[in-house]
A and B are shown apart, each in its own frame.
Chain A
Amino acid sequence: MTDFKKITLDGLWKNNPATVQILGLCPLLAVSGSVVNALGLGLATMAVLASSNACVSLIRHYVTDAVRLPAFVMIIAALVTVIEMLMQAYTFELYEILGIFIPLIVTNCVVLGRADGFAAKNPVLPSFVDGAMMGLGFLIILLMLGALREILGQGTLFSNMQLLFGPAAQTWQITVFTDYKGFLFAVLPPGAFIGLGLIIAGKNVIDKRLKEAAKRKDAESPKASRRVRTTGNVA
């Protein structure tokens, strides 16, 4: 299934919503202060993305172009409300911490972008996979940023995980630096901007290295002999 492979690669790496499309920055920067916040919002966004993509794909033949955006937004808003109520019911403390950023998933450009850019033109299953993979790509970056900021800001990792996984997760906290004074900068918004900038830079470096390696491999492999052309377009 090369099609699904491509969708997966697009969502996680090549067209990652956070590092390539740079979409949905508001929640990405606002709630990435710790791993638990990042995971909570990331999972919520991922669930909304996958289900909204599937729903939009289902109705794609019945909505005219003129009213498609309002229709998509209605679907997304309904799904976000469902997620919000679920979080309110099962992870109330986390729901309180994330606050306004859960309803704001409606305005996350990634969700509407994938609905209009992919789900409106593709069958249900690929649309669902696309939503899930885009959501996963977003979640991974959110988690990396959350871990980075939690370690630098508070010197811990996985603190307060009980908010999401119940009381058993209380012992998951890893204290990376003992007797740490805290680095307020990493907790504040500028730390999120610089952290995301560094992650994007890291991705670009890896891409560049991969490209160079591919080029070198290409140059090393023997070419089929080609007659030298002296006229016409040389390809």
Chain B
Amino acid sequence: MALITVSSPHTTKKGNHTGAFMRQVIYATAPGLAALTWLFGYGTLLNVCFAVLVAVGCEALFLRARGRDVSFYLSDFSAVVTALLLALAMPPTSPWWLILIGTAFAIIIAKQLYGGLGMNPFNPAMVGYVLLLISFPVEMTRWIAPHEAPALSDSIQIFLGQTNVDAFSGATPLDTMRTWAGNAEQLSNQPILHGAFAGEGWEWVNAAFLLGGLYLMWRRIITWHIPAGVLAGLTAIALPFWLFDSVRFADPLFHLFSGAAMLGAFFIATDPVSAATSRNGRLIFGALIGVLVWVIRTFGGYPDAMAFAVLLMNLAAPTIDYYTQPRTYGHKAAHRGASK
């Protein structure tokens, strides 16, 4: 009889390593990527390809500079996931240099300089996104009107920065809601606000990410706590305000299926490194992200808020973990940090 002499965690399952988990995340974004491409053209696809190239290049360069095993760390696919999530959040009209700056900053500053995967206090993809959003607000809020996707040749020209994008761009449902909040007549006249069940086009993007997220939950890559927290938090604060004044405030369904709501809830907030770790902690972490998203979307200076909300809660995650430590086996009550 052989006794196990390796250190924990004792696992016999094959493929149970970081790279396999990250690959599942990549597969799960497929429906969302397909929906974005179908509605807004090939721009997102170009963004994703270029961002992945840049991310892997920067990661390899800095792993080398830091004296780490390049192929070992590259095979955990975390750089690819970061690039993918950033590119999915970017407008499909982004020129190449925008992707280059955002991805390089995410990988180099937000990840490698902090010590690589597992050491970054903030979600790297969202750090890159926020850097771009505050530096280049015009480029970062220029979306295409749904179902008016430019042809592949146009998309390539936009990507190379050779075409004026204004011919294709249009306001998103969140932009429109911001502009006309409080004006009942205008709100009912905006076709983009009245899709099948939420904002036109965006409802399908979010539904697709929801599908991918459910797949991740089914494969047990993520637990239900953070997404449930985000969606519950967003609903809980949007519902009473909408009931109070449905002209000034958008309905919960609109919020849940607009912008980066589903992408954020299932793919971005669930980053195992920068999120809270205990079960109760994850629920609180998620719920506060949901509340912040609604607050910033409604009263803030930018149309969408997922990136800001996630980064702010990343900052709060250690505190949340401190107060939600579960009881350990053999103890009557949970120990809290250095107390006692």
Residues of A within 8 A of B (CB): 181, 183-185, 188, 194, 201
Within 8 A of A (CB), among B99-155: 109, 113, 131, 134-136
Bound complex: CA of A181 vs CA of B161, how far in Å? Answer: 13
Q: Which residues of A contact B135 (CB under 8 A)?
A: 183-185
Which chain B residue shows the least CB distance to A182? B135
Extra inter-chain contacts (8) besides given A181-B136, A185-B135, A201-B113, CB under 8 Å? A183-B135, A184-B134, A184-B135, A184-B136, A185-B131, A185-B134, A188-B134, A194-B109
Which chain A residue shows the least CB distance to B109? A194
Interface size class of B (residues with CB under 8 A): under 10
> How far is the CB of A200 from the nearest CB of chain B, in Å?
12
Q: Which residues of A contact B109 (CB under 8 A)?
A: 194
Residues of B within 8 A of A (CB): 109, 113, 131, 134-136
> How far is the CB of B79 from the nearest CB of chain A, in Å?
20
Q: Which residues of B contact A185 (CB under 8 A)?
A: 131, 134-135
Which chain B residue shows the least CB distance to A152? B135
- From B109, B113, B135, name the one whose CB has the most chain A CB atoms within 10 angstroms: B135
Which chain B residue shows the least CB distance to A183? B135
Bound complex: CA of A185 vs CA of B109, how far in Å? Answer: 14
Chosen A-B contacts, 11 in total, with CB atoms closer than 8 Å, are A181-B136, A183-B135, A184-B134, A184-B135, A184-B136, A185-B131, A185-B134, A185-B135, A188-B134, A194-B109, A201-B113
Q: Which residues of B contact A188 (CB under 8 A)?
A: 134
Which chain A residue shows the least CB distance to B105? A185
Q: Which residues of A contact B113 (CB under 8 A)?
A: 201
Bound complex: CA of A151 vs CA of B134, how far in Å? Answer: 18
Bound complex: CA of A200 vs CA of B292, how far in Å? Answer: 34
Bound complex: CA of A184 vs CA of B135, how far in Å? Answer: 4
Bound complex: CA of A181 vs CA of B97, how far in Å? Answer: 12
Bound complex: CA of A194 vs CA of B136, how far in Å? Answer: 18
Bound complex: CA of A227 vs CA of B109, how far in Å? Answer: 52
Bound complex: CA of A201 vs CA of B65, how far in Å? Answer: 14
Bound complex: CA of A188 vs CA of B133, how far in Å? Answer: 13
Q: Which residues of A contact B134 (CB under 8 A)?
A: 184-185, 188
Which chain A residue shows the least CB distance to B131? A185
Bound complex: CA of A183 vs CA of B109, how far in Å? Answer: 16
Q: Which residues of B contact A194 (CB under 8 A)?
A: 109
Which chain A residue shows the least CB distance to B137? A184
> How far is the CB of B146 from the nearest CB of chain A, in Å?
28
Bound complex: CA of A181 vs CA of B136, how far in Å? Answer: 9
Bound complex: CA of A201 vs CA of B131, how far in Å? Answer: 21
> How far is the CB of A107 from the nearest CB of chain B, in Å?
27
> How far is the CB of A192 from the nearest CB of chain B, in Å?
14
Bound complex: CA of A188 vs CA of B109, how far in Å? Answer: 17
Which chain B residue shows the least CB distance to A188? B134
- From A181, A188, A201, name the one whose CB has the most chain B CB atoms within 10 angstroms: A181
Q: Which residues of A contact B136 (CB under 8 A)?
A: 181, 184
Q: Which residues of B contact A201 (CB under 8 A)?
A: 113
Which chain B residue shows the least CB distance to A184? B135
Bound complex: CA of A201 vs CA of B66, how far in Å? Answer: 13
Considering the complex of A and B, which 9 residue pairs feature the smallest CB-CB distances, nearest first?
A185-B135, A184-B135, A183-B135, A185-B131, A185-B134, A184-B134, A194-B109, A188-B134, A184-B136
Q: Which residues of A contact B131 (CB under 8 A)?
A: 185
Which chain A residue shows the least CB distance to B139? A181
Bound complex: CA of A177 vs CA of B316, how far in Å? Answer: 39
Bound complex: CA of A199 vs CA of B131, how far in Å? Answer: 20
Bound complex: CA of A73 vs CA of B199, how far in Å? Answer: 62
Bound complex: CA of A196 vs CA of B328, how far in Å? Answer: 42
Bound complex: CA of A181 vs CA of B109, how far in Å? Answer: 22
Bound complex: CA of A194 vs CA of B113, how far in Å? Answer: 11
Bound complex: CA of A95 vs CA of B266, how far in Å? Answer: 51
> How far is the CB of B127 from the nearest CB of chain A, in Å?
10
> How far is the CB of A169 from the nearest CB of chain B, in Å?
29
Bound complex: CA of A194 vs CA of B114, how far in Å? Answer: 12
Bound complex: CA of A201 vs CA of B134, how far in Å? Answer: 25
> How far is the CB of A204 from the nearest CB of chain B, in Å?
13
Bound complex: CA of A185 vs CA of B102, how far in Å? Answer: 12
> How far is the CB of A150 from the nearest CB of chain B, in Å?
15
Bound complex: CA of A8 vs CA of B136, how far in Å? Answer: 43
Bound complex: CA of A183 vs CA of B131, how far in Å? Answer: 10
Bound complex: CA of A183 vs CA of B136, how far in Å? Answer: 7
Bound complex: CA of A168 vs CA of B109, how far in Å? Answer: 40
> How far is the CB of A182 from the nearest CB of chain B, in Å?
8
> How far is the CB of A119 from the nearest CB of chain B, in Å?
38
Q: Which residues of B contact A184 (CB under 8 A)?
A: 134-136
Which chain B residue shows the least CB distance to A201? B113
> How far is the CB of A178 from the nearest CB of chain B, in Å?
16
> How far is the CB of B95 from the nearest CB of chain A, in Å?
11
> How far is the CB of A142 from the nearest CB of chain B, in Å?
22
Bound complex: CA of A181 vs CA of B101, how far in Å? Answer: 14
- From A181, A183, A184, A185, name the one whose CB has the most chain B CB atoms within 10 angstroms: A185
> How far is the CB of B15 from the nearest CB of chain A, in Å?
38
Bound complex: CA of A123 vs CA of B281, how far in Å? Answer: 59
> How far is the CB of B167 from the nearest CB of chain A, in Å?
20
